Amino acid sequence: MGKLNSKIPDGPLAQKWTKYKASVKLVNPANKKKLEIIVVGTGLSGASAASALGELGYSVKNFCYQDSPRRAHSVAAQGGINAAKNYQNDGDSIYRLFYDMIKGGDYRAREANVYRAAEVSNDVIDHYTALGVPFARDYGGTLDTRSFGGVQVSRTFYAKGQTGQQCLLGCYSSLNRQIKKGNVTMYPRREMLDLVVIDGKARGIIARNLLTGEIERHAAHAVVLATGGYGTIYYLSTLAVNSNASAAWKAHKKGAFFANPSFIQIHPTCVPQLNEFQSKLTLMSESLRNDGRIWVPKMKDDKRPANSIPEEERDYYLERRYPAFGNLVPRDVASRAAKERCDAGYGVGETGLAVNLDFRDAIKKQGKKAIENKYGNLFEMYKTITGIDPYEEPMRIYPAGHYTMGGLWVDYELMTTIPGLYAIGESNFSDHGANRLGASSLMQAAGDGYFVLPNTISNYLADEIRVPKISTDKPEFEETENSAVERLNKLISIKGKQTASSFHKRLGKILWDHCGMTRNEEGLKKALTLISELKKEFWKDLNVPGTINEINMELEKAGRVADYFELAELLVTDALDRKESCGAHFREEFQTPDGEAQRNDEKFTYVAAWEYAGEGKPHILHKEELKFEEVEMKVRSYK
Amino acid sequence: MNLILKIWRQKNPKTMGNFVTYRMDDVSPEMSFLEMLDALNKKLVEEDKDPVAFDHDCREGICGSCGMYINGHPHGPVPAITTCHLSMRYFRDGDTIWVEPWRAKPFPVIKDLIVDRSAFDKIQTAGGFISVNTGAAPEANSILVRKKKSDEAFDSSVCIGCGACVAACKNASAMLFVSAKISQFALLPQGRIEAKERVRAMVEKMDELGFGSCSNTGACEAECPKQIKLTNIARLNREYYKAF
Ligand SMILES: Cc1cc2nc3c(=O)[nH]c(=O)nc-3n(C[C@H](O)[C@H](O)[C@H](O)COP(=O)(O)OP(=O)(O)OC[C@H]3O[C@@H](n4cnc5c(N)ncnc54)[C@H](O)[C@@H]3O)c2cc1C
Ligand code: SF4
Ligand code: FES
Beta bridge partners of residue B109, listed in sequence order:
B115
A376 touches chain B (CB under 8 A): no
Q: Are B82 and B162 in contact (CB under 8 A)?
A: yes
Predicted confidence band of residue A113 (pLDDT cuts 50, 70, 90): very high
pLDDT tens-digit series, residues A463-495: 999 999 999 999 999 999 999 999 999 999 999
Q: Do B57 and A240 touch (CB under 8 A)?
A: yes
A228 CA: distance to closest CA in chain B (Å): 14
Contact, A574 vs A610, CB < 8 A?
yes
C-alpha dihedral sign at A331, A334, A339, A340: positive
pLDDT at A2 over 80: no
Per-residue pLDDT for chain B (244 aa), expressed as one digit of tens each? 999 999 999 999 999 999 999 999 999 999 999 999 999 999 999 999 999 999 999 999 999 999 999 999 999 999 999 999 999 999 999 999 999 999 999 999 999 999 999 999 999 999 999 999 999 999 999 999 999 999 999 999 999 999 999 999 999 999 999 999 999 999 999 999 999 999 999 999 999 999 999 999 999 999 999 999 999 999 999 999 999 9
What class is the B117-242 domain?
mainly alpha
- Is A69 near chain B, with CB under 8 Å? yes
> Under a CB-based contact definition with an 8 Å cutoff, are residues A178 and A55 in contact?
yes
d(CA A192, CA A189): 10
Q: Contact at 8 Å (CB) between A457 and A438?
A: no
- Nearest CB among A179, A499, A550 relative to B125 is that of A179
Contact A130 B184 (CB under 8 A): no
Tally of CB atoms within 10 A around A1: 11
Q: What is the mean pLDDT of residues A154-170?
A: 95
End-to-end CA distance of chain B: 58
Q: Which residues of B touch A497 (CB under 8 A)?
A: 46
Burial class (CB in 10 A: 0-12, 13-18, 19+), B26: exposed
Pocket test for ligand 1, best of A442, A560, A567 (most atoms within 8 A of CB): A442
Q: Give the whole-angstrom CA distance, residue B7 versus residue B27.
A: 16
Q: Cα–Cα distance between B39 and A69 in angstroms, integer?
A: 28
Ligand 3 atom at minimal distance to the Cα of residue B85: 4
Q: What is the largest CA-CA distance in chain A?
A: 75
pLDDT band at A147 (very low <50, low <70, confident <90, very high): confident
Give whole-number Cα distances, A192 to A38, A172, A249, A250, A427, in Å: 11, 20, 11, 9, 14
Nearest CA in chain A to B89: A387
- What residue owns the CA closest to ligand 1's atom 10? A439
- Rounded CA-CA distance A282/A272 in Å is 8
Residue A406's alpha-carbon distances to A116, A265, B227, in angstroms, are 19, 10, 38
Residue A587 CA, ligand 3 centroid: distance in Å? 36
Q: At a CB cut-off of 8 Å and minimum separation 6, what does B45 contact?
A: A499, A543, A544, A545, A554, B51
**For A236, nearest residue in chain B (alpha carbons):** B59
Edge to edge, the sheet with strand A293-297 lists: A264-270, A395-404, A355-358, A293-297, A314-315
Q: Taking the domain B3-111, which CATH number applies?
A: 3.10.20.30
pLDDT at residue A460 is higher than 50: yes
Residues of B in contact with A55 (CB under 8 A): 133-134
CB nearest B138 (choices: A126, A139, A186): A126
The CATH architecture of the domain made up of A267-400 is Alpha-Beta Complex (3.90)
Output the residue whose Cα is nearest ligand 1's atom 13: A77
A453: CB partners within 8 A, 6+ apart: A49, A52, A53, A224, A414, A422, A424
Q: Is the pLDDT of residue A150 over 80?
A: no
User: Ligand 1 atom 14: the closest Cα is on which residue?
Assistant: A77
Tens-place pLDDT, residues A367-398? 999 999 888 888 998 998 898 999 999 999 99
By the 10 Å C-beta count (0-12 exposed, 13-18 middle, 19+ buried), A3 is classed as exposed
What pLDDT is stored for residue A1 in this prediction? 41
Instruction: For ligand 2, say whether the CB of B226 is within 6 Å of any of its atoms.
Output: yes
Instruction: Please tell me which residue of chain A has the smallest CA distance to B136.
Output: A127
- φ, ψ (nearest 5 deg) of residue A531: -65, -45
Query: CA of B213, closest CA in chain A: separation in Å?
Result: 24
pLDDT in tens, A180-221: 999 999 999 999 999 999 999 999 999 999 999 999 999 999
d(CA B117, CA A457): 34
Question: Residue B140 and residue A85: Cβ atoms within 8 Å?
Answer: yes
- Of A123, A100, A115, residue with least CA distance to A12: A115
Exposure letters A104-142 (e unless 16+ CB within 10 A, then b):
bbbbbbbbbbbbbbbbbbbbbbbbbbbbbbbbbbeeeeb
Strands B73-74 and B3-9: unpaired
Q: B3-111 and B117-242: same fold?
A: no
Q: What ranges make up the beta strands (E) of A302-385?
A: 314-315, 355-358
Q: Is the pLDDT of residue A265 over 90?
A: yes
**A31-35, A149-153, A193-197, A241-245: segment of lowest average pLDDT:** A149-153
Question: Residue ranges of the domains in chain A?
Answer: 267-400, 483-599
How many Cα neighbours within 13 Å face the side chain of A476?
Answer: 17
- In the sheet that A201-209 helps form, which strands lie side by side, from edge to edge? A190-198, A201-209, A215-219
Residue-averaged pLDDT of chain A: 96
Could you tell me which of B221, B222, B238 has the C-alpha nearest to residue B230? Answer: B221
A474's enclosing H/E stretch is: none
The 3-state DSSP class for residue B212 equals: strand
Q: Of B64, B154, B188, which is closest to A71 when you measure between CB atoms?
A: B64
d(C-alpha A597, C-alpha A106), whole Å: 10
The mean pLDDT of A433-445, rounded to a whole number, is 96
Interface contact A388, partner B, CB < 8 A: no
Name, in order, each residue with C-beta under 8 angstroms of B125's C-beta and a sequence gap of 6 or more: A176, A179, A180, B205
Q: What are phi and psi of B84, to 5 degrees?
A: -65, -20
In this prediction, residue A274 carries a pLDDT of 84
CB A492 within 8 A of CB A542: no
For residues A69 and A179, give the distance between their C-alpha atoms in angstroms, rounded to a whole number: 12
Rounded to 5 degrees, φ, ψ at B18 are: -160, 165
Please state, for a pLDDT cut of 70, what percent of chain A lies above it.
100
The domain ranges of chain B are 3-111, 117-242
Secondary structure (DSSP) of A581-625: -BTTB-BTTSB-TTS-B---HHHH-EEEEEE--STTSPPEEEEEE
Q: Give the other-Cβ count within 10 Å of A537's Cβ.
A: 14
Percent helix, percent strand, percent coil in chain A, to nearest 5: 40, 15, 40
pLDDT digits (tens, 9 = 90+) for A326-378: 999 988 899 999 999 999 999 999 889 999 999 999 999 999 999 998 888 88
CB spacing of A275 vs B35 below 8 angstroms: yes
Q: ipTM for the complex?
A: 0.98
Q: Is the distance from the beta carbon of residue A192 to the nearest atom of ligand 1 less than 6 Å?
A: yes
Task: Say whether A196 sits in a helix, a strand or coil.
Answer: strand
Alpha helix ranges (H) inside A254-367: 317-321, 331-343, 360-366
Query: Number of Cβ pairs closer than 8 Å across A and B?
Result: 219
Beta strands at A156-157 and A81-82: parallel, antiparallel or unpaired: antiparallel
Local confidence band at A434 (pLDDT 50, 70, 90 cut-offs): very high
Q: What is the CATH number of domain A483-599?
A: 1.20.58.100
Pocket of ligand 3 (CB under 6 A): B 56-59, 61-66, 82-84
Tens digit of each residue's pLDDT (9 = 90 or more) over A227-253: 999 999 999 999 999 999 999 999 999
Report whether A503 contacts A561 (CB < 8 A): yes
Of A46, A73, A70, A40, nearest to B57 (Cα)? Answer: A73
Quick check: is A189 catalytic? no
User: What number of residues does chain A have?
Assistant: 639
State yes or no: pLDDT of A14 exceeds 80: yes
- Three-state DSSP class for B171? coil
Torsion of CA A545, A550, A551, A557, to 10 degrees: 50
Look at phi and psi of residue B212 and say left if phi exceeds 0, alpha if psi is from -120 to 50, else beta.
Answer: beta
Q: Which of A48, A71, A131 is the closest to B132 by Cβ? A: A131
Whether A545 sits inside 8 A of B131 (CB atoms) is no
Of A289, A331, A396, A436, which is the active-site residue?
Answer: A331
Q: Give A437's Cβ-side CA count (13 Å radius).
A: 33
DSSP state string for A502-555 = HHHHHHHHHHHHHSSSSB-HHHHHHHHHHHHHHHHHHHHHB---S-SSS--HHH
* For residue A79, pLDDT beyond 90: no
Query: Which residues in chain A are contacts of B188 at CB distance < 8 A?
Result: 132, 134
Q: Using CA atoms, how far apart are residues B118 and B103, in angstroms rounded to an integer?
A: 15
